[in-house]
Every structure is written in structure tokens, then in C-alpha cells.
Structure 1
């Protein structure tokens, strides 16, 4: 049976929820009657949806009035925080790419995957999973394992272990645990040598200390056998920490190496407009 939409009224549940939430734009508190009228919903439908949103924390009820709940604020704050992180990372990423010649990724842990938010560099040319907006299983990604190493197992999302692309990939929970111990021993640097993709080495470090709710990582990748994982790991770890200091407003720690000072100097001079 085909359902038609009449008089512009929302017909699907997602349309109804969206229409209901949008009425709070510019209106901190509204009654049920006001919400139903402005959302163009039957009063009974508006009440039923509101009750569920109150249970989820998306909407809060105060007497006869409703307002957006803390959960909506938390989700909105994460979006703002991630956008600010993205913008703050760009000059560091361009400087890191220019100083190393390697491809730089900014990635975030989303459920059991890493989502690539930004990429500076053209290599590898193939593989949609490496492009901005691409996703990869967290257990198969250096960026994903760098973030997971900062979390307790109780904080992990429910992880999936899809077949790895190569024999060097992570196959099991036991193997993942061993790898994360090595990440912690290296000061938070995750190294993936041809595990996620044949012919590629990737190193990553989480942005921010343990306990940070960013759950994002900076990574460098290049052809296996031609890039030094140790040197690249040191560079990406220190740059990730510098990004954290820059975004948090904390004073930078003393005693940075000459190499990092050079990178930081390049960051200050780098135009964040893409070079390509």
C-alpha cells in the first residue's frame, strides 16, 4: 500500500521526529499544544514521540513545558568539538605532509570503525577506504588501534573482526590485545606494516591524553620498506600532542626536539588552503 503525504504533513516517523525537534529552534520551552501545532502533528502523536524522546534524554519535561535535553547538547557539542579539531589540525597536517612527504590522515573512532575526516597527500591513489569519508575496521587500522589503546576494554565499542586484507592483519581479540600492549609500550604509537593494506606502512597516535573524549587520531602512511616506522612514529606522536595543546589552550611542554620545533615553525607559516 502506498501512503501519500497530504497538505505537506510529515508522514514517516523520522520526518515526524525531525519536524518536532525543529520547533525548538528559537523557542527554549514549548507546551505540548504549541509543539503539536508548530510541527503540524496530531496532539496524540506529538505526545507519544515526546515521551520517548524524554526517556532517551533528547528532550526534557518541566511541568507542562518541554525543552531540548542534555543528550542533544552532548551530541551537538561533539559535532562542534570535532569541527574545531578538524580546523585546528589542518595547518599541522599540511606542515607534517610537507616536512615528511608522507600522507597524513585525521581519523575518528565511530563505533567499531575509523572514519577518515581529512587526508593530506595523494598516496595511495587507489582505495576508497583511505579517502575522506572512508571507513575502515578499527582493529585493522593504525588510527583505530591508537585510540583503542587509550581506552579500557569496558569502554570499547563492540568490535568486529572482519577478515584482514593481508596475513599481517589482526585476526583475533587476543592478537589485538597483544598489539595494544605494544602501542602503550611505544608511548601511544600504533604501527601497521602491511596489515591494513599490502605495500603500506601506517603509524598513528591518538590526539589527546587517555581519558580524552575526542577519540581521534593522527596518522602517517607511506610505501612499506621506504619509510622509517620509528622516526615517523616519533614525529606523529609529538605532532598529535602539539595539536592537543593547541586545541586545549594548554601551555606546550618544554624540551621539544629541534625536529618538532622545525615542524611547529612550519605550521605557523603554513597557509591552510589546500595546495592542490
Structure 2
């Protein structure tokens, strides 16, 4: 339960979604007739080889790209551009260097017209949630990569989205920081009960964080697959079922 109550929904419906780009004068089909349903509060990971359309799908869900055909619905309403019910976190946190941690996290609320005092009160809550209460006066140049990404997560959560979209948010971190941040993301998702859709190249990360994994194929004639991750939380990476699921997912990409 959060300190700031909202009506959380965040159901995503994708119907017959197709998206293509023109590259070197040729039409490149990235997504074709995709069907997808994401339930409220679900954690979905999207994996697949480079060029399969992972980030393109996330950008369409965010309203940053328009599909060629088909539709995306949020709680039954068509997506038409960006919306306050969705927040996106990129691999780079993209913090404003002239603002402190508190200023960066409160920025989105103040832009929306929320008074500074109440914006900073809410920002402090989420700064504490991501474990940076002692760093609210620090500037981005004084933060490690993992800390900066925590600020980005806090900033996204402060506007209280129904849906949190993450595009390789931990891809630039070192191995130990990445594991810590995976645990933090899992904890935050459980506490906030927000719908989370995560693009990642890390198959173990997908299993650790997601309820289901959407596997997008490289070959356009192949059909995307949804894999249920029926493992208890918090997840144990050394558990036999976890190891077997990781091995099975790696086999999808010929990595075994």
C-alpha cells in the first residue's frame, strides 16, 4: 500500500499490431499482427534477439511510436500519444544535471502544476523507497550509475503511473550492481503493485522479475511465445526450477 492512494488499473491490450520501418530504401517489418494481453499489476518481460522489435513494442506502448495497423488499449481506451498513466525508464536515467536528486524526482510533478511543497513531499517518499533518503541533496555527477538509475525509477514512480515501462534499465550497470537493482525492482514492484513491462537482453533477469516472458522471434514467420514463470517470490536463482527455466529459455535462442 502506498502513502498516496490512486485507483490502479493498468491493463494493456494489443490487437493485430504491426509496425515497420524503411531502411536503405527497403521496408523492414519489425512487428507483425501481434496479440498481447497484460493484466493489471502483472510483471511482463520482453526478450528476443536484436532487431526483433522489443524496444519498438515498448515505444508503441508508451505512445512514442504509432503502429502501422492494429491498436493498443490501456484499460479499454486507445493509446493516442503519451499519457500520464504510463511512465518509461530508459537505460540511461537522463537526469537534469543542474537539479539535485530531490529536484529531479519532484520535477515531473511540478511541471504538472503541483505545488512545490507537496511535490517534494511525494518525491521524498519515493526517494526513500529506492533507498536514497540520505542523498536527496546530491547532484547527478555525485551519483554512481546504480544510484542514478534509482533516481530515474523514483522519478517515474512519483507521478504514480498505472504502467511502468522499462527499456533495458539495468543494461549499463556492472554485474554486482545489476543484481542488487534487480532485487530492488522486484521489491518496488511488489510494494507499488504497478503493471511493469520490461525489455531486457538478460534472460535470467527476465525470469527473476517477470510473471510471464514474451519471446519475440527474429524470423518474422515465427510466432511470439508467452512463457509463464510459475516460481514463488522472492525468487531463488539457485533453485532447480529456476535453473531449469533459465536453461529452457536459453534453448529458445540456441544458447545451450
**TM-score w.r.t. structure 2 length?**
0.29
Higher helix share: 1
Higher strand share: 2
**TM-score w.r.t. structure 1 length?**
0.27
Q: Which has the higher contact order (CA 8 A, sep 6+)?
A: 2
